[in-house]
Amino acid sequence: MTDFSQLEEQLEIKFHNLDLLKQAFTHRSYLNENSHWRLGHNERLEFLGDAVLELVVSEYLFEEFPNEPEGYLTSLRASLVNADTLAKTSTELGFNDFILLSKGEAKDTGRGRNYILANTFEAFIGALYLDQDYKKAKKFIDKHLIKTKLTAIIEEKRFKDPKSLFQERAQAAVGLTPVYKVVEEWGPDHDKHFKMAVYLADELVAEGEGPSKQAAEINAAKNGLETKGW
């Protein structure tokens, strides 16, 4: 059985209501195989945590960059709260060892796990906010996300989304505008998955997957930047 007191010890946070912490780490798939589990899945907490996270990050950026326009702040915020950044932060915090998943989901260590890790981070923020208060949630986000990720995002210009950056680099290097095409799509309507390819003229540069065409295009552009060394 997962020992959540170990996670509390790692994070140096003691929950008043341990059920909130447990629920934050309960993936929907876990309930399908564990009917005895008396708590719900973490999607409502994820919904709340997403809002708290966005407010904390927005407030920080607004105060830290008083002379920057809205567009710049929006780009920085998007880079801080995107799935990749949140998944990386979750991994660094050791969240992966505590997520309750079905046996099938537990085997997936690819892109799907990244989304689960990112969603769990948001759910944890929602649980922390409910269990304690906004100030505690803000302190956690500031310490473990903003202070550890923002400097690198700015220095490496990762606040530009991969599609914009790939297009900018492609036009500068070879004078071409990238074109995206659907390679494959699968899954039921409520759970579609897409594979997109990015081309420069007739050259297939890279492919990417995601739960929407837009997400798959972003991943294809990201992979294209790596492939080209841009």
Query: Is 64 marked active-site?
Result: no
- Catalytic residue, chosen from 105, 122, 131, 209, is 122
195: how many CB neighbours lie within 10 A of its CB? 17
For the chain, the maximum distance between any two Cα atoms, rounded to a whole number of angstroms, is 60
- Catalytic residue, chosen from 46, 50, 84, 217, is 50
Q: Which of 210, 206, 213 is nearest to 230 (CA)?
A: 206
Query: Is 168 marked active-site?
Result: no
- Measured CA to CA, the distance from residue 185 to residue 142 in angstroms comes to 38
Q: Which of 197, 226, 191, 196 is nearest to 211 (CA)?
A: 191
Q: Which amino acid is at 76?
A: L
| Sign of the torsion angle spanned by Cα atoms 127, 130, 136, 137 | positive
- Residue 160 phi, psi (nearest 5): -80, 130
Q: Which of 205, 175, 209, 177 is nearest to 192 (CA)?
A: 209
Instruction: Compute and round to an integer the Cα radius of gyration of the chain.
Output: 19
Sheet holding 179-186, edge to edge: 179-186, 193-200, 203-210
- Report, as residue numbers or ranges, the catalytic residues: 50, 122
